[in-house]
Amino acid sequence: MTILIVFAIIIVLGMFFSFLRMLIGPTASDRAVAVDTITTTTVALLVLLAFIFERYVYLDVSLVYALLAFVGLVALARYLERGI
């Protein structure tokens, strides 16, 4: 169990790198890519936390989060494309 908590800490550390890129990123596309990476990482982190806290419900949360993040990112890409 301790190993799994260490894994969760490593994942959060990795998300920090992407977060830095989201703050620096010179163009809007850079930021969008960073957000894409963060959402995928969060899905994995939620499943890991579901096992650590032994909550079955967190799996549903991560499934719905993955769905919404996909739709949101495609919408964001369309928005960038038109340059509104």
Partner 1 sequence: MGIVGMIITGIGVLFLLLGNFGILRLPDVYNRIQAGTKCTTFGAFFTIVGIGILEPNWFWKCLLIAAFVLITNPISSHAIARASKIIGVLLCDKSVIDKTEEFKNEKGV
Q: Which residues bind partner 1 (CB under 8 A)?
A: 3-4, 7, 10-11, 13-18, 20-21, 27, 29-30, 32-34, 36-37, 40-41, 43-44, 47-48, 50-51, 56, 59, 62-63, 66-67, 69-70, 73-74, 76-78, 80-81, 83
> Alpha-carbon distance 34 to 50, whole Å?
24
SS3 of 23, please? helix
Query: Do 16 and 38 contact (CB within 8 A), yes or no?
Result: no
Distance CA 75, CA 79 (A): 6
CA triple 66-76-30, angle to 5 deg: 95
Query: Nearest distance from residue 15's CB to partner 1, in Å?
Result: 6
| Minimum distance from residue 81 beta carbon to partner 1 (Å) | 4
Give the shortest CB-58-to-partner 1 separation in angstroms.
Answer: 10
